[in-house]
Amino acid sequence: MNVASMASPSVEAQVAAAVHCIFERWTALQLAIDNEWGGDHAGQHVGAFVDAALALVLRTERVYFDELADMLDGVLLEQFATQAEDDSVEQIAERLLDMHNDRQRT
């Protein structure tokens, strides 16, 4: 069954708000944005970053932790010239994966 077909607009809005909140509280990402490590278009980069994460949570049938963590780490490095040396990439990946798995169960 397709996850997108199961998501009601209100559920999608709640998930979107949660994903935005996760990214807004991610210290490494916020430092990159505040210090313009992603260049002049950091706002556009973060919007695309959040949209990609949201699409994975809502519209992808199967998500793997390693692939998700690699995607987050890659975007952080390529788009924001930032390498998180803490375990925040894994923490964010775990939260997003939990959200995805919760969506699959409903």
* pLDDT (tens digit per residue) in 74-94: 999 999 999 999 999 999 999
Would you state the pLDDT for residue 103?
86
Flag the least confident range among 5-9, 55-59, 87-91: 5-9
Mean pLDDT computed over 91-106: 92
Average pLDDT over the chain, rounded to whole?
89
DSSP 57-87: HHH-S---HHHHHHHHHHHHHHHH-----SS
pTM for the whole structure: 0.85
